[in-house]
Every structure is written in C-alpha cells, then in structure tokens.
Amino acid sequence: MNLFDPLAQRSLALRHRLVISPMCQYSATDGLPDNWHLVHLGSRAVGGAALVITEATAVSAQGRISHGDTGLWNDAQVEAWKPIVRFVQSSGAIAGVQLAHAGRKSSAQLPWEGGGSLAADQAPWTTVAPSVIPFDAGWHTPQALDEAGIQQVVADFRASARRALAAGFQLIELHAAHGYLLHQFLSPLSNQRTDPYGGSFDNRTRIVREVISAVREVWPAELPLWLRISATDWAENDAGWNIEQSVQLAQQVKPLGVDLIDVSSGGMLAHAKIPVGPGYQVPFAARIRREADIATGAVGMITEVEQAQAIIANGEADVVLTARESLRDPYFARRAAKTLDVKITPPVQYGRAW
C-alpha cells in the first residue's frame, strides 16, 4: 500500500489515505457552524485531503464541550451545515462528521479563556457522567446518568446521525476518545457503576455498542461508520483503559458495522504522563489493525510526508489523519503528492500554480 492509493469504504472511495482529523474550533454560536467553519474545512478540502472530518459535533446541548461547539441536535444546525458540506464535496473531498458528547468534560470555558469549568456567571450547565467523579479539581461534579439518561444519550446519537444524513455528510465518526462521555464509560477510572453499564468489560462497553447499533439503524448501509478511541489512558500501572481492551473493543464493534478505528490516546486523566513524540500512537493503530482485523487510522505528531508514507507502506494503518500539521499547512496533501511524485488535480482556479 502507498499513501496515494485509493481506499474503499463501503460505497465510498477515498482518493488517497490522507484525512483531516477532527479539530475543535470553539467558534460556533448556539451550535451553528458559520463562515469560519466553511473556510476552515473548505480550505483543507481545496488543499487536497481525501476526507475532511468536522470537529466534535455535539449530539445535545448538554453534550457540548463549550458554548462554542458545533452541534447537530436541531434542524437549524442541519441547514447551517449544508453549504459547508456541499463546498467540501465540490472540492473533491468526502465530508465526514464526528458526533460527540462531552460528559463530565462539558460546560467548559473556551481554551483561550482558560479552558476550565465555566464559572457561575458564565452560563454553565449540569454535566453528566457514568459516575459522580469530576474530571479534575475545580471541575464541575457531574450527575451520574440513570438508565433512562443513558437511553436518552443513545437516542441523541441516533437523532444526530439522521440529521447528519440530511445535511449531506457521507461518513460518521463516533467519538469515544479523549475522556469524553463514551470513553468515560469505557474506563474503570471514571466508571464505577455496579449496574449493567459498569464493572465488567462487557458492561463498560455496552453503551458504545448500543450507540453504534442505534446509529446503524438510521445511517445507510452503504455509508461508512468510524469509531475514534483512546487506545490507552496512560494511567500508572496500566490501571485504566488500555491497548488490550482497545483490541477487544475493536473485535466487538466490527460486526456491528464499524468500518475503521481511529486510534488516538489519552484525555481521561488531567495529569497523565504521556511520552509524546513523532508517531507515538502509531503502534496502537498497528496492533489493533493486526489483532482485530479491522482498518485503522493513525494520528498524533505525524508531520512529515515520508513518515506518513511509511505508516501506510508498512501496514501500520490504513489512513493517516493530520491535525496540527494541517493547521500549519492546509495544503499538506498537495505537498505530499509533490514529494512522492504523484499527480493530483488542482482546482481549476489554481491550475496556473501547478
């Protein structure tokens, strides 16, 4: 395999293996994307990416990380997404959306305003989680979801998937990583329930499986469904969610209709010691791909074209997702094509530059 080989995902064909990773912009109003999101996502599509995935898009107002999150919990948001989706697609990329619920990490300040919990005069809202355990000192103490609350979360994901289809998206990624609600259920560090949604591995993964099944009920069989996970919590003594459990989860969800595991890590612990370095998460993607026999995506400090090519050529992942590097260079995919001596067609408006 090579970086610029196409990749089949159900009825879709990614034109190559470079994907724009979800990146929160914290710039929406009432969940509505605007011209910032059009330019941000559209420029990466013009830049040659095969697939552009939106930021974490909340399935409910309560599930937002911050006041600035985009959403798909009402029909006005569907209408706001439509022109953005059309532009991404008209620029040759597939348009994907990441659906998310922030759980106990909700009701937060914008990162450039501190990033902690919203103060009483900043219009905070009640946060929810598997258990009554705050993310960190100074964060809101969440309410534990009862079974009716859990089923409402599942229903919210289903409804948002239906709206994603109405907006024209062609791929959904479910966010079960970075310490947000679905990850909170997965990890024994945040899930101390004693009911059918806590305790054993099968119980802790139950809500993820229910969300996948609910989304697949309304998401067409011919369109792909991805799942983002944190492969490890980076907890001391491997005490939390870890790579072994991630492999097991991938084995569980493949028969439910998940087409690719987008493999990140961390986000559960506010003060985890993470050995960050170039490609530091790639071995997790490689192991899940090998042991669960499912397509994977690699992400995390992948900044060089040759690095991305090696990941694909060595069979460590099926796609490479770029985040911060694509913020620095929206045209990373076109630069990669030139470096690897591959021709990809530029927009006709930019043809004079090629």
Decide if 70 contacts 55 (C-beta within 8 A): yes
Residue 180 falls in the annotated catalytic set: yes
Spot the catalytic one: 180, 280, 331, 350. Answer: 180
Name the residues annotated as catalytic: 180
